[in-house]
Structure 1
Amino acid sequence: MQFNFDSTEPLYLQVAEQIEEAIFLQSFQEGEQVPSTTEISKQFHINPATVLKGMNILVTAGFLEKKRGLGMFVTSGAPEKIREKRQTEFYHDYVVNLVNEAKKLTLTETAIIDMVKRGFSQS
C-alpha cells in the first residue's frame, strides 16, 4: 500500500481504494483476512480511526465483512462486485462524457466505434 500524505484526497478514502484494489487484483482472496487496522496504522503511521473509517466504507459496499473478535475478511464474490461497480463508474465517468463530446463534434456512432477499435488495435 502507498499513501500520498500531500494529496487533497482524504487518507481514509486512500485506505479504502488501496484495499479495494488489492481485493480486485486478488492480492486478498475471498474469505481471507485483511490486515488489521492496528497493523496498517502502525506500518504507515496513520491514525487507527482513519484506517477503520476507510475499511468501513468497504464493509458498507459489501467487499469486507467484520467477524467479531477476529477481524475483517474479504466477502464471497467481492472481486466481481468491485468489477461491476467499476464498470458502472466507467460508463458514467467516460462513456457518457464521450458520447456527449461526440455529439458536440457531430461524430456518428459508427465513427466513435471505429475510433475505439483503432484505440484497441494500437495498444
Structure 2
Amino acid sequence: MYLQVAKQIEEAIFMNGFSEGDQVPSTTEISRQFHINPATVLKGMNILVSEEIIEKHRGLGMFVKKNAQERIRMKRQNEFFDDYVSGMVVEAQKLKLTEKQLIEMIERGYEKNE
C-alpha cells in the first residue's frame, strides 16, 4: 500500500500536478482521503524523500524538490531500459535479428503510433 502512495504522488509530480516547491498533501490528508493508516502514507512519502523527489520542511510539511520531475524521468528511463529494452535485445538476439533490423522495427513502431 505504501508503494502505491509513493507511486501516486510521484505520478502527480511527473504529470505536473505538483510543481517544484509545491507542498504535497499531508500524511493526515492522504490517510483520511484514502482511508489508510497515516504510518503507511508516511512510509510511502519517505521513499520519495530518499529518492530526493520531495523534502521535509520541519513543522511545515513535505515539498517537491527542485528537479524532481527530471529525477523521476531519469528513474523511469532506467526502469524502462531494465524492464523492456534489455529483454527485447535478448529476444532479438535469440531471433537472430541484427541491431539494424531491431532499430528498423522500433522505427516502424514509432511510425505506426504517430
Distance 1:47 1:92 in 2: 32
What one-letter code is carried by the residue in structure 2 that aligns with 1:42?
Answer: R
The CA RMSD measured in Å over matched residues stands at: 0.5
1:68-107 residue pairs with structure 2 within 5 A?
A: 68-107=58-97
Aligned residue number for residue 34 of structure 2: 44
1:1-123 residue pairs with structure 2 within 5 A?
A: 11-123=1-113
Distance 2:21 2:79 in 1: 25
Distance 1:108 1:93 in 2: 21
Distance 1:103 1:121 in 2: 23
TM-score norm. by structure 1 comes to 0.90
Gaps of 5+ in 1: 1-10
Q: CA deviation at 1:59?
A: 0.2
Q: Secondary structure of 1:89's match?
A: helix
TM-score norm. by structure 2 comes to 0.97
Q: CA deviation at 1:100?
A: 0.4
Q: CA deviation at 1:93?
A: 1.0
Q: Secondary structure of 1:66's match?
A: strand
Q: Secondary structure of 2:17's match?
A: coil
Aligned pair count?
113
User: Which string of whole-angstrom CA distances, capped at 9 and with x for unpartnered residues, describes residues 46-78 of structure 1?
Assistant: 100000000000000000000000000000000
Q: Secondary structure of 1:85's match?
A: helix
Q: CA deviation at 1:26?
A: 1.2
Distance 1:57 1:49 in 2: 13
Distance 1:50 1:12 in 2: 5
